[in-house]
Amino acid sequence: MAFLGKKTHKFSSTLNLCSIFCTFVTLSFYFSLSAHAGFKPDQIKAAYIYNLPNFVYWPNEKQANTHITNNKAFVIKILGSESIARYLSILTRGETIKGQPITVDFITSLEEATDCSILFIDKSYENKLPSEVLSNLAERGILTVGESLGFLKKGGMVGLVPIGKRIMILINPSMAQKARLAFSAKLMKVAKVFDPQKNEGDGE
């Protein structure tokens, strides 16, 4: 989290707000921005990312991250969105996921997208993202998260997609299965399952 630097104090005041919201997200997974105007979209996305591992099963639940890296931390990498990385770093400070301490890394290239359990890809990177990259990440057991239907069409697993004044979670179970990941029954119930045929031609 070294990238935070001197900017950390600007975000410290959001810690309590984000923590409270994070509890709400755990229960809802479907959030109306207009109902809670105090939360910024990137705060909402950070809270979703933080809670996702509670609803995803990796091949080895006792050591969810060690099938990818020898680190004993649960590593989440954020490609392209320093804002989401900052909020997520605040949320995860001192917390654990599946019994492991959490490391949040902000990265600026796909070459750095290794040795992690979750990779969030900012929409600004999605358009230039080859489909084979997402397929390769799936083969490595990395849960990929993006921001559009186009991302899911290319082979992403989870989409935090703005729809009207809401941010919906869309999931792509077929790609998760390729990564030997499984979504919990609760997530399958409250999230919208992405249908490639139904969403053909819709890249938003």
> Domains in the chain, please, with CATH?
27-193 (3.40.50.2300)
Q: How many CB atoms lie within 10 A of CB 193?
A: 12
Which residues, 6 or more positions from 42, have their beta carbon under 8 angstroms from its beta carbon?
81, 83, 84, 87
The 10s digit of each residue's pLDDT in 54-107 is 899 987 654 444 444 455 789 999 999 999 999 999 999 988 888 889 999 999
Q: How far is CA 79 from CA 120, 174, 201, in A?
A: 6, 23, 25
- Residue written as token pair 């680190």: 71
pTM of the model: 0.79
Q: Which residue ranges in the chain fall short of pLDDT 50?
A: 1-21, 23-27, 30-36, 62-69, 200-203
